[in-house]
Structure 1
Amino acid sequence: MDVIPEPLRVGTGEAGSFELGPLTRLAAHDGTERTERWLRATLGAATGLPLPPAQGPGEDVIGLSVDPAVTGELGPEGYRLTVARTGVHLMGGGPAGLFWGAQTLRQLLGPDAFRRAPLPGRTWRLPLTRVEDAPRFRWRGLMLDVARHFMPKEGVLRYLDLMAAHKLNVFHFHLTDDQGWRLEIERFPRLTEIGSWRARTKFGHRASPLWEEKPHGGYYTHDDIREIVAYAAERHITVVPEIDVPGHSQAAVAAYPELGNTDVVNASMAGDTALSVWDNWGISPNVLAPTDNTLRFYEGVFEEVLDLFPSEFIHVGGDECPKEQWRQSPTAQARIRELGLADEDELQAWFIGHFDTWLAARGRRLIGWDEILEGGLAAGAAVSSWRGYAGGIAAARAGHDVVMCPEQQVYLDHRQADGADEPVPIGYVRTLEDVYRFEPVPPQLDGEQARRVLGTQANLWTEVMEDQARVDYQAFPRLAALAEVAWSALPAPDARDFAGFERRMTTHYRRLDALGVAYRPPTGPRPWQRRPGVLGRPIDGPPPDR
């Protein structure tokens, strides 16, 4: 049972198997339509079997149902999979649970079930077994940054498939940053006409002397986003968009200069030189001006965002906002006095609080990086804790929901080993075992506070990931470990069976091979995965304590 993530309970009965063949049918009941479509399309392609609808009771059937009894025992995302000699019965606590059970069924068929066309001479057998399973957390996520390096739509759809194969259910879509704006906003066309591309790109960390001297860019149209959201929904994945404010906004300011602190920026720029989309990495000093015009502009942006994304949560960033321009800006200082605020931190809190209220009035919830705690945070907002555990602990104790994604643990852009062959080494060394031993719920939280931890996610920042193969290399196999942390009822970190996980990964690597994932092999990077001579950002010494 080399299933990843590890199921809650597995019962093995008599020896033997159930074999799928040309006569195998799908008996699908109400509420199972998405899983029925997915099984017929995905397993049908891999096996070459038609899997037609069942015409009546009989043998050689894969039965699909949603069962209230499973809901009561395992929850809406739980499932029960029974494989007998006479057929297969997959019951979900809800439509999502049924779909996650189908992922387990696919894994049990072997790695070739992950291919897009049947290989000759294959037989398709399921071991006789009974699996009962349910996730630990409701938020099992992946954040993908498409602002630093754009990922075309087909690549995004592929990553949704990879998430589904690992029972991940939240796709955090980082759409805007200093280096690019990736979402069409019809009322503000310059956001993509100007903000979606940059003239050149730094190759490696910002200390690198290397440049790729050609334009880089791209964006998603409204219909692209509708397709992505619908594709995700078919796989029971929620897409949470991120529009970063008030920092990480140079691309927006380049498109609409009036959004910036013009009383500071214009005075410091030579001649007629205009601010452009940033071609370097790091934290740009060019942030949004705290004006009514900026608020109205971004309300217009978020109106289109809400129309495209039905998710409960809308991510507003809120991280790494330098305050120097606000300190120098007479306009910003006048706003601080007008609102009776103490300082620039409270000014940012006011800015974020405005959109918290605005989103709440429209039935949505704001979520942001843990800097949004600075200066106060409205009660309904949630926090993505990235600067270690401290922000998440503070947020949970203050009654806020939390997604745990500390940089020191689950930033998958960080290097996987300390060898010289690692491509563009960034940050802390975080091995597969390190990720597997990550614990999302800090021991400092009591029971009620711990329930504020919605779950966890891995973050893929793409400054040094110039294409899909580089994203694959940084994500896998560590994303498989994060998926197990998010789904499975694992013991305390020191008691986890990493050797057993490695053994199961031996089979899982073959699944990733079948899917065409350019993962990092356990023995280290392949020659074409290295980036000799491209500077990274090593961090010396151990990571900070929790």
Structure 2
Amino acid sequence: MLMGVYSTTSAQEKKAAAPAALIPLPVSATYNTDSFVISAHTAVMADPGNEIALALLQGYIAEESGMPLPAKTTFVKHPGNNRITLHIDSTLVKHAEGYRLQITPEQVSLTAYDAAGILHGIGTLRQLWRHKNAATLVLPGADIYDYPRFGYRGMHLDVSRHFFSVNFIKQFIDQLALYKINNFHWHLTDDQGWRIEIKKYPKLQSVAAWRDQTMIGHKKELPHRFDGKKYGGYYTQEQIKEVVAYAAARQINVIPEIEMPGHALAALTAYPSLGCTKGPYKTAQFWGIFDDVFCAGNDSTFTFLEDVLDEVMELFPSSYIHIGGDECPKVRWAHCSACQQRMKDEHLPDEDALQSYFIHRISERVNSKGRNIIGWDEILEGGLAPGATVMSWRGVEGAVAAAKQQHHVIMTQEDKLYFDYYQSLYPEEKTAAGGYTPLKDVYGYDPLKAAGDTALLPYIAGIQGQMWSEYLDTEAQAQYMIYPRMLAMAERAWSPQTVRDYPDFLQRVKAQAPLLKKMHINAAQTAEEITYAVDSIAKGQLFVSLHTDAVGAEIRYTTDGSKPGAKSNLYKAPLKIAQTGTLKAALYQNNQQRYRTFQQLFTINKATGAAITLKGPPNTKFTGNNNLLVNGIAGSLRYNDQQWLGFSKRDLDAVVDLGSEQTIQQVGADVLNYHWQKMWPPASLEFEVSADGVHFTPLARADSFPVNGSNKIRLKVSPVKARYVRVVARNHGVIPAGEYGAGGNSMLLVDEIIIN
């Protein structure tokens, strides 16, 4: 039997070497200048029972070098002692999923707590080895002890909005294994498509798996445009089994998600009797939340869903079954006689309690099969089902609420871990969901700090990255959005909490580039691009700094709108911007431009840098300093650049102090009009002027905001002298019937105030 610790040379006798560029970083690691050479004479050996891991390691070596190495499942003397050994011993490695990897010139010894630890150690080997020549690999001398910070480390992939091939799913699973992610959350059903074969309900394949066409562009753009092409597909049960087995061999659990009670339009299209209105329904062709959901008043709904889940649980051995539970409008339930009767019979006070009843009933079926449900944090509404785990996506409130009830929580925070958000604000980026989550923000996320109360920490099971597919029309685009952000999430989930060195992480990401390329991964290269900040604002001028995380590069810039080159001005200190124009900058290394050219328009006017007061602060997620309204920077159409201020059930009422009496000939402001995002322009935009800041006289008013998008209101007026300008944008109020979000409160988004 293999001994767990193998060493022929003391640590003091070895010469230290630089750390390897591993992701995620291990708990502890020392490196030396020794090396182990994998050649055609190397034997790969493992305990009996580790045949799968042994075969995988053989396959990885053969794929990398072309060498089909001999393998054994017993430990025997081997000529020259040139061997790689895999061994499970929980007395030597004390942590679940942990491993110890020792590399000497004579052998590679991988000892683990369990089978998962063996696979994680193999992942580390794959990141460590390098080619000595075409047919020989070399590993650095090392002693690595490693185990995970969190037991749950997950990655989500939505295949409902856009469908991905089995080969892509397998490749994705390979990458999860490489970076020690142990749960694959497979989002299989939604309004836009049903992607799993259910033999008892064949119309889910023939009808629900297909939509007539797909929206082109962003959902905020009106009118919606479509491609006119039928779209869809589904995984057969044999394909599901194939994927689950493939993942299990790599110690990855596959969690299926079957959405309920909302996000059900595709299923209702196939079986309209399951809805409150009985249809007809149509599989959704665009993105959003839809009022038609599963009827909670008819027992046939529960029969259908229980039958579906029975087949799902036969295919997926996961102890977790995800039932969604998010974004379920109660509009249909409120007007459904069957749902109202259910509420009466069950003594339920409101529709939130009806949703809780729905989730509890489904949970009982799942529990009867020895499984537990996971749901998004909306399953808290009306009360949690026993044993339910919550994925907290809308912030930390859901996590705290669930943990206080002693339910486990998986942190999936939208503004940090949704990889369908933009990772760059450069205009060249393809259409994405709307938010902005750069690599640095993912790496900086700490789920325990976010949870707050330390007494709740034992209930934080782990974290997960989300990849919603509305705007992933190709597999290459999916990869672009996932990588390298998934690597940052993987390190936060695995490595000790004390590991937090973003510059070092960036260098390791760059070192991983050849490996990602070899796996045909189309990874984004945006993390080191130039960004900017407004350091200070003075009357009529800004001081702007440029930033990059690139090491050893210089920034060249222009302020006249021309393209910067290697001979353009060298950036050394914050730039004073005192007139309207476009700042452009490029990153240079060895006289060669790296990455894309940065550009930002600054509009300087009398309001720029002026003192501004608001009667009431913004009260939506679009918050910030009042100065955002007078900083010379117009908010983008993507509204993800932290330039817009948002107001709900409240007007914008601002007073700009120009500092002295000025002649005014034009006033204006930017307002957003995106009904599909519940963003409505004001009922009116009014400007008033004053000499003393107390008594105001009407100056100009706009009542029409016809542009779908940013309405840049510019109103010319007869010259008038004033020191103070009051700007009032009156909130539209409740969203009218027939519009998206009808009955809810509209949101008023305002940005740059213009005074000339």
TM over 0.5: same fold?
A: yes
- The structure that is strand-richer by fraction is 2
**1:108 and 1:444, CA in 2 relative to 1: closer, same or farther beyond 3 A?**
closer
Match of 1:246 among 237, 242, 261: 261
Q: Distance in 2 between matches of 1:354 and 1:483?
A: 35
Could you tell me which residue of structure 2 aligns to residue 12 of structure 1?
31
1:327 aligns with 2:330: no
1:99 aligns with 2:119: yes
Could you tell me which residue of structure 1 aligns to residue 287 of structure 2?
281
Deviation at 1:122, TM superposition (A): 5.5
Match of 1:481 among 469, 481, 488: 488
Q: Distance in 1 between matches of 2:247 and 2:386?
A: 29
Could you tell me which residue of structure 1 aligns to residue 40 of structure 2?
22
Deviation at 1:540, TM superposition (A): 5.3
1:37 aligns with 2:17: no
Counterpart of 1:377 in structure 2: which amino acid?
A: L
**1:283 and 1:537, CA in 2 relative to 1: closer, same or farther beyond 3 A?**
farther
Unaligned runs of 5+ in 1: 113-118, 267-273, 528-534
Q: Distance in 2 between matches of 1:425 and 1:102?
A: 35
Q: Distance in 2 between matches of 1:504 and 1:393?
A: 34
Deviation at 1:180, TM superposition (A): 0.2
Q: Distance in 1 between matches of 2:268 and 2:87?
A: 52
Q: Distance in 1 between matches of 2:313 and 2:638?
A: 37
- The structure that is helix-richer by fraction is 1
When structure 1 is superposed on structure 2, of 332-341 and 178-187 the one drifting more is 332-341
Match of 1:501 among 495, 502, 505: 505
Q: Distance in 2 between matches of 1:478 and 1:83?
A: 30
Q: Distance in 1 between matches of 2:136 and 2:83?
A: 17
Q: Distance in 1 between matches of 2:451 and 2:116?
A: 32
Could you tell me which residue of structure 2 aligns to residue 271 of structure 1?
none
Q: Distance in 2 between matches of 1:194 and 1:135?
A: 43
1:144 aligns with 2:157: yes
How many residues end up aligned between the 2 structures?
515
Could you tell me which residue of structure 1 aligns to residue 323 of structure 2?
316
Could you tell me which residue of structure 2 aligns to residue 531 of structure 1?
none
Deviation at 1:447, TM superposition (A): 4.4
Q: Say which SS state the counterpart of residue 131 (structure 1) adopts.
A: strand
Match of 1:51 among 42, 46, 69: 69
Decide which structure has the larger Cα Rg and report it. Answer: 2
Deviations 1:177-214 (A, max 9, x none): 00000000000000111000101001232133432221
Match of 2:196 among 183, 190, 209: 183
Could you tell me which residue of structure 1 aligns to residue 346 of structure 2?
339
Q: Distance in 2 between matches of 1:106 and 1:76?
A: 21
Contact map agreement 2:396 2:451 (CA 8 A) in 1: no
Deviations 1:283-320 (A, max 9, x none): 01110101211001111001101100000000000000
Query: Please, what is the CA RMSD of the aligned residues?
Result: 2.0
Q: What is the 5 A alignment of 1:57-68?
A: 57-58=77-78, 59-68=81-90
Counterpart of 2:286 in structure 1: which amino acid?
A: N
1:514 aligns with 2:533: no
Q: Distance in 1 between matches of 2:643 and 2:451?
A: 21
1:82 aligns with 2:102: yes
Q: Distance in 1 between matches of 2:290 and 2:360?
A: 23
Q: Distance in 2 between matches of 1:526 and 1:247?
A: 42
Q: Distance in 2 between matches of 1:373 and 1:68?
A: 38
Match of 2:360 among 346, 353, 366: 353
Counterpart of 2:525 in structure 1: which amino acid?
A: P
Match of 2:145 among 132, 136, 154: 132
Contact map agreement 2:157 2:185 (CA 8 A) in 1: yes
Contact map agreement 2:396 2:450 (CA 8 A) in 1: no
TM-score (norm 2): 0.66
1:303 aligns with 2:316: no
1:364 aligns with 2:403: no
1:428 aligns with 2:455: no
Contact map agreement 1:148 1:180 (CA 8 A) in 2: yes
Contact map agreement 2:416 2:437 (CA 8 A) in 1: yes
Paired-residue identity, %: 38
Unaligned runs of 5+ in 2: 1-19, 530-593, 597-635, 646-756
Could you tell me which residue of structure 2 aligns to residue 256 of structure 1?
271
Could you tell me which residue of structure 2 aligns to residue 228 of structure 1?
243
1:205 aligns with 2:306: no
Match of 1:407 among 411, 414, 430: 414
Q: Say which SS state the counterpart of residue 71 (structure 2) adopts.
A: coil
When structure 1 is superposed on structure 2, of 225-234 and 4-13 the one drifting more is 4-13
**1:537 and 1:295, CA in 2 relative to 1: closer, same or farther beyond 3 A?**
farther
Counterpart of 1:69 in structure 2: which amino acid?
A: T
Deviations 1:299-347 (A, max 9, x none): 1001101100000000000000011111111221111111110100000
